[in-house]
Chain A
Amino acid sequence: MTPYQIWIAFMTIVVREVRRFTRIWPQTLLPPAVTMTLYFVIFGNLIGSRIGPMEGYDYMEFIVPGLIMMSVITSSYANVVSSFFSMKFQRSIEELLVSPTPNWVILTGYLAGGMARGLIVGFVVMLVSLAFTTLEFYSPVLVVTTALLTSLVFSLGGFINAMFATKFDDISIVPTFVLTPLTYLGGVFYSINLLDPFWQGLSMANPILYMVNAFRYGVLGASDVGPVWAIGMLLVFSVVLFTVSLRLLDRGKGIRS
Chain B
Amino acid sequence: MEYALDIRGLRKTFPGGLEALKGIDMQVEAGDFFALLGPNGAGKSTTLGVLASLVRKTSGQVRVFDADLDTDPARLKTWLGFVPQEFNFNQFEKVGDIVRTQAGYYGMAPARAALNAERYLRELGLWDKRNSPARMLSGGMKRRLLIARALVHEPRVLILDEPTAGVDIELRRSMWGFLERINREGVTIILTTHYLEEAEALCRNIAIIDGGRILQHTSKQALLQQLSMEHFILDIRNDPGTLPQLEGYHCFRNDEGALVVEVEKEDGLNDVFRQLGEQGWEVTSMRNRSNRLEELFMSLVGRSLPESEEEESA
Residue positions of A touching B, CB distance < 8 A: 1-2, 4-6, 8-9, 11-13, 15-16, 19, 23, 86-87, 90-92, 94-102, 252, 256-257
> Is the C-beta of B286 less than 8 angstroms from some C-beta in chain A?
no
Most buried by B among A15, A16, A252: A16
* C-alpha gap A102/B93 in the complex (Å): 23
> Is the C-beta of B115 less than 8 angstroms from some C-beta in chain A?
no
Are A256 and B90 in contact, CB atoms less than 8 angstroms apart? no
Q: Interface on chain B toward A: helix, strand, loop, or mixed SS?
A: loop
Are A90 and B101 in contact, CB atoms less than 8 angstroms apart? no
* 20 A-B pairs (CB sep. < 8 Å): A5-B108, A8-B108, A9-B107, A11-B104, A90-B90, A90-B91, A91-B84, A95-B89, A95-B105, A95-B149, A96-B105, A97-B52, A97-B53, A99-B77, A99-B105, A100-B75, A100-B77, A100-B78, A101-B107, A257-B14
Are B91 and A2 in contact, CB atoms less than 8 angstroms apart? no
Within the complex, the shortest CB–CB distance from B142 to chain A, in Å, comes to: 13
Within the complex, the shortest CB–CB distance from B94 to chain A, in Å, comes to: 9
Within the complex, the shortest CB–CB distance from B172 to chain A, in Å, comes to: 24
Within the complex, the shortest CB–CB distance from A20 to chain B, in Å, comes to: 8
Are B53 and A90 in contact, CB atoms less than 8 angstroms apart? no
Given contacts A90-B88, A256-B55, contact A98 B80 (CB under 8 A): yes
Given contacts A1-B74, A100-B74, A257-B56, contact A12 B149 (CB under 8 A): no
Are A12 and B101 in contact, CB atoms less than 8 angstroms apart? yes
Q: Which 6 A/B pairs are nearest by Cβ-Cβ distance?
A: A5-B107, A12-B104, A99-B105, A100-B74, A91-B88, A100-B77
Chain B residues 47 to 68 lying within 8 A of chain A, measured CB to CB, are 49, 52-56
* C-alpha gap A2/B75 in the complex (Å): 11
Within the complex, the shortest CB–CB distance from B155 to chain A, in Å, comes to: 10
How many of B's residues come within 8 Å of A, CB to CB? 34
Which residue of chain A has the shortest Cβ distance to B52 in the bound complex? A98
> Is the C-beta of B73 less than 8 angstroms from some C-beta in chain A?
yes
* C-alpha gap A16/B52 in the complex (Å): 23
The interface residues of chain B lying within 8 Å CB-to-CB of A8 are 104, 107-110
The interface residues of chain A lying within 8 Å CB-to-CB of B56 are 252, 256-257
Given contacts A92-B88, A95-B101, contact A100 B54 (CB under 8 A): no
* C-alpha gap A96/B102 in the complex (Å): 8
The interface residues of chain B lying within 8 Å CB-to-CB of A4 are 107
The interface residues of chain A lying within 8 Å CB-to-CB of B78 are 100
Within the complex, the shortest CB–CB distance from A205 to chain B, in Å, comes to: 37
The interface residues of chain A lying within 8 Å CB-to-CB of B105 are 9, 12-13, 95-96, 99-101
Chain B residues 71 to 87 lying within 8 A of chain A, measured CB to CB, are 73-75, 77-78, 80, 82, 84, 86
A16-B93, A91-B88, A252-B56 are known contacts; what are 20 more A-B pairs with Cβ within 8 Å? A1-B107, A5-B106, A5-B108, A8-B104, A9-B107, A11-B104, A12-B104, A92-B88, A92-B89, A94-B88, A95-B88, A95-B149, A98-B80, A100-B73, A100-B74, A100-B77, A101-B106, A102-B74, A256-B54, A256-B55
The interface residues of chain A lying within 8 Å CB-to-CB of B89 are 90, 92, 95
> Is the C-beta of B97 less than 8 angstroms from some C-beta in chain A?
yes
Within the complex, the shortest CB–CB distance from B275 to chain A, in Å, comes to: 58
The interface residues of chain B lying within 8 Å CB-to-CB of A11 are 104
Given contacts A91-B88, A252-B56, A257-B14, contact A98 B82 (CB under 8 A): yes
